[in-house]
A and B are shown apart, each in its own frame.
Chain A
Amino acid sequence: MSVDDALLAIEDLAVTVGTDEGKAEILDRADLVLRPGSIHGVVGESGCGKSTLIKAILGLLPKRTVVERGRVHFEGRDLLQLSGDAMAREVRGRAIGFIPQDPFQALNPVFRVGDQLMESLRWHGLPGEEAPLRGRVDRATRARHRAHLVSVLSAVQLPDAEQALDRYPHQFSGGQRQRLLIAAALSTRPKVILADEPTTALDVTTQLQILKLLRELAERFGLSMIFVTHDFGVVAQLCDTVTVMYAGQTVESGPVASVLGAPLHPYSRMLLACHPDRAVELAGIPGAVPSPLKPPSGCRFNPRCTDARPVCAMARPAVTTPASQHRVACTLYPPDADPATRAA
């Protein structure tokens, strides 16, 4: 997977945050490639930098964070170089849609759902149309926005779409709210959709319905989506390709069948073994994700790795491609044994 045929690519991203105890490296050498029309999973334990990755793409990194290195390629531009104003006007809600983690908290409780969902259309316009000047919409435009939203709401299979727009968030269940938020993300026909653990806050049956819906929508509209999760089961059901992250670093990426079927990195192997669907017994990984204040040197996983050798703590392992389109950063796969590297 090269950066060139990607729709969106993150390259060698490093982000630090200033804390009272010093600088914390929350992302270091994070890579990700999203190809058009595919769903790309980002998987890892809590605190490994998945959400930070999403925030970096959206240009919404919290205060006191600094992008030390890296690029976010999208439509021939580096999003990290765009001004806050350009990000708000051209990217967020327009070129890139967002589905949040917790549908119970994401909608403002004191505004009607319709007013909130129409906000994106108001500032970014209907798909294929110019945005209304300074968000001023006349009655006719508003009616067209509303009609468009109703059609999107029926696409996400929300019952009584017309009436739903006049109700308040607390009048919907969690699954219905997530459908509303998916509709909000789809309404401006963005090129990329970022989903930040959109099923975590829901109960299991609702999770399955939402995943099924996302899969259907992806096929119907040819969506390109980055889907953050900590659950390999979700990746298996939904995604085409996947990136595994550990402590702010991309450790492995590739097609889902390859990464899940034959994981290369010891961390991926152990994480997969943790998944109750796949292991007879919960293996668990000894130790915890290291503090980003003092990350281990070399490969950040080496203190917890059963295959660790002295060389692992010395330098960051090189990224190699031992299998087709399947990349890994681990000393178990040296560059000289790598057919891709040898060819070059």
Chain B
Amino acid sequence: MLRFILRRLLLALPALFGLMVLTFIMLRVLPADPSAALAGENATPEQIAAIRAAFGFDLPIWKQFLIYFGQVMRADLGTSLFTNRPVAADIALRLPATIELTFAALIFATAVGIPLGTLAAVWHNSAFDHIVRIVTVAGLAVASFWFAIILQFTFSMEFDILPLRGRLETGIDPPPFFTGLYLIDSLVSLNFTTFLNAIEHLIMPAFTLSLGGLATIARFTRAGVLDTMQKDFVSYAKAAGYPERRIIWVYVLRNSVVAATTQIGLLFGALIAGAVAVEWIYDWPGIGSYAVQAIFTSDYKAILAVTLVVGLIYAFVNLAVDVVLALLDPRVAETL
């Protein structure tokens, strides 16, 4: 298992390198000129050229990339053209917020999606199954920004039971930093007011973000359970006198979540992409809204860094998924 993890980490390196090259080239192909943006509206061509030379934008692209690559290798992600702070510091500040949001969404999607999918399979073709199908198709089809606005309108503006935006109410201090995740930090420091406030702020963004994942997990679980219920070992378990509930919730489900778990790994990419929009709407101070800001200001160092960090997280999550799969199925573990 340890060898497998090390091998997978090594394999992730070329993938991340490829991601870096691709993003770098794509940013240069775009018509937006960061030098012009930096120089301001009234800059003369000479001023722009000076900035271009200062930042090295006049060098051949491969040379620029080598310089950038060398910086990244020294853990230097550059300075943000917009905030004028080191990009690494910006990301370190904002990454926990995104992690808290996406993991809350993922946990919610899994905790609801798996039982929903299982029940839909157990009662397949019943009214419940049809309702789940309609809801999940809707969950996949609905645009998250539209859904977010509906939620904000209903629960914040109309009924005023949930906060409209942000991560904490103004006036409430963030809990002391341990992990950067407010829920955990406030609990660890026994700060229950902060904890409740953080939860209130998390509910709507996390729910909005989880919708697509929840639908996917429910659908894959349903298909997996239906497939597993046809297996011989299920009819054997019945004939051998295991109780029905035990067969479904222990023996069938464990085999069925394998497919859903694989999906969770792939979903994480979609979740991060979704977080960009959701963070922007809910004013959530994560790297999603940071990325939006960076794109608007042609802050290419920030864009590159965010892409790289997201790629890194994606690689880690998928590695974790493979480890979980090995734990779920001993036959997978033996092939590692």
Whether B44 is near chain A, meaning CB under 8 Å from some CB there, is no
Contacts of A124 in B (CB 8 A): 241
Q: Which of A12-20, A86-94, A223-231 contacts B (4 or more CB under 8 A)?
A: A86-94
- Complexed CA–CA distance, A102 and B231 (Å): 11
Q: Choose among B233, B240, B331 the residue that contacts A168 (Cβ–Cβ < 8 A).
A: B331
- Complexed CA–CA distance, A107 and B328 (Å): 16
Q: A100-B232, A119-B246 are in contact. Are A108 and B240 (CB under 8 A)?
A: no
Q: Is the CB of A60 within 8 A of B238?
A: yes
- Complexed CA–CA distance, A91 and B238 (Å): 11
CB distance from B333 to the nearest CB of A (A): 9
CB distance from A122 to the nearest CB of B (A): 9
Number of interface residues of A (CB under 8 A): 29
Q: Is the CB of A135 within 8 A of B243?
A: yes
Q: Is the CB of A92 within 8 A of B254?
A: no
Q: Choose among B232, B243, B244, B330 the residue that contacts A105 (Cβ–Cβ < 8 A).
A: B232
Interface 1/0 per residue, B229-249 and A, CB below 8 Å: 001110111111111101000
Interface 1/0 per residue, A186-211 and B, CB below 8 Å: 00000000100000000000000000
Q: Is the CB of B241 within 8 A of A123?
A: yes
- Complexed CA–CA distance, A97 and B241 (Å): 9
CB distance from B322 to the nearest CB of A (A): 16
Contacts of B255 in A (CB 8 A): 108-110
Whether B329 is near chain A, meaning CB under 8 Å from some CB there, is yes
Q: A60-B235, A100-B232, A108-B251 are in contact. Are A93 and B240 (CB under 8 A)?
A: yes
In the complex, which residue of chain B has the Cβ closest to the Cβ of A187?
B240
- Complexed CA–CA distance, A119 and B245 (Å): 13
Interface 1/0 per residue, A110-127 and B, CB below 8 Å: 110000000110011000
- Complexed CA–CA distance, A88 and B242 (Å): 7
Q: Is the CB of B242 within 8 A of A120?
A: yes
Q: Is the CB of B242 within 8 A of A119?
A: yes
Contacts of B240 in A (CB 8 A): 92-93, 97-98, 119-120, 184-185
Contacts of B328 in A (CB 8 A): 110
CB distance from A187 to the nearest CB of B (A): 10
Contacts of A111 in B (CB 8 A): 251, 254
CB distance from A129 to the nearest CB of B (A): 15
Number of interface residues of B (CB under 8 A): 21
In the complex, which residue of chain A has the Cβ closest to the Cβ of B239?
A98
In the complex, which residue of chain B has the Cβ closest to the Cβ of A194?
B239
- Complexed CA–CA distance, A90 and B241 (Å): 9
Contacts of B241 in A (CB 8 A): 88, 91-94, 120, 123-124
- Complexed CA–CA distance, A168 and B251 (Å): 14
Q: Is the CB of A110 within 8 A of B329?
A: yes
Q: Is the CB of A123 within 8 A of B242?
A: yes
- Which of A91, A108, A109, A135 counts the most chain B CB atoms within 10 A? A108
Q: Is the CB of B243 within 8 A of A106?
A: no
Whether A309 is near chain B, meaning CB under 8 Å from some CB there, is no
Q: Is the CB of B330 within 8 A of A168?
A: yes
- Complexed CA–CA distance, A160 and B52 (Å): 76
Whether A150 is near chain B, meaning CB under 8 Å from some CB there, is no
- Which of B233, B235, B251, B331 counts the most chain A CB atoms within 10 A? B233
- Which of B239, B251, B254 counts the most chain A CB atoms within 10 A? B239
In the complex, which residue of chain B has the Cβ closest to the Cβ of A117?
B240
- Complexed CA–CA distance, A111 and B331 (Å): 11
Q: Is the CB of B237 within 8 A of A108?
A: yes
Q: Choose among B233, B243, B244 the residue that contacts A108 (Cβ–Cβ < 8 A).
A: B233
In the complex, which residue of chain B has the Cβ closest to the Cβ of A62?
B235
Contacts of B242 in A (CB 8 A): 93, 119-120, 123
Contacts of B251 in A (CB 8 A): 108, 111
Q: Is the CB of A88 within 8 A of B243?
A: yes
- Complexed CA–CA distance, A241 and B329 (Å): 44
- Complexed CA–CA distance, A92 and B237 (Å): 10
Interface 1/0 per residue, B204-228 and A, CB below 8 Å: 0000000000000000000000000
Contacts of B244 in A (CB 8 A): 88
Interface residues of B in 249-278 (CB under 8 A from A): 251, 254-255
CB distance from B225 to the nearest CB of A (A): 14
In the complex, which residue of chain A has the Cβ closest to the Cβ of B236?
A106
Q: Is the CB of B238 within 8 A of A110?
A: no
In the complex, which residue of chain A has the Cβ closest to the Cβ of B255?
A110
Q: Is the CB of B331 within 8 A of A105?
A: no
Whether A259 is near chain B, meaning CB under 8 Å from some CB there, is no
- Complexed CA–CA distance, A58 and B238 (Å): 9
- Complexed CA–CA distance, A185 and B237 (Å): 11
Q: Is the CB of B231 within 8 A of A105?
A: yes
Contacts of A123 in B (CB 8 A): 241-243, 246
Contacts of A92 in B (CB 8 A): 238-241
- Complexed CA–CA distance, A60 and B247 (Å): 15
Contacts of A194 in B (CB 8 A): 239
Q: Choose among A60, A91, A94, A106 the residue that contacts B233 (Cβ–Cβ < 8 A).
A: A106
- Complexed CA–CA distance, A106 and B238 (Å): 11
Contacts of A77 in B (CB 8 A): none
Contacts of B238 in A (CB 8 A): 58, 60, 92
Contacts of A100 in B (CB 8 A): 232, 235-236, 239
Q: Is the CB of A106 within 8 A of B232?
A: yes
Q: Is the CB of A110 within 8 A of B254?
A: yes
CB distance from A82 to the nearest CB of B (A): 13
The 8 closest A-B pairs by CB, nearest first: A93-B241, A105-B232, A92-B241, A106-B236, A98-B239, A108-B233, A168-B330, A93-B240
Instruction: Give 10 new A-B contacts, CB below 8 A, not counting A93-B240, A98-B240, A100-B235.
Output: A88-B241, A102-B232, A105-B232, A105-B233, A108-B254, A109-B329, A110-B331, A119-B237, A119-B242, A123-B241
Cβ contacts A to B, 22 pairs, < 8 Å: A60-B235, A60-B238, A60-B239, A92-B240, A93-B240, A93-B242, A98-B236, A100-B232, A105-B233, A106-B236, A107-B233, A108-B233, A108-B237, A108-B254, A109-B330, A111-B254, A123-B241, A123-B242, A123-B243, A123-B246, A170-B331, A181-B236
Residues of B within 8 A of A (CB): 231-233, 235-244, 246, 251, 254-255, 328-331
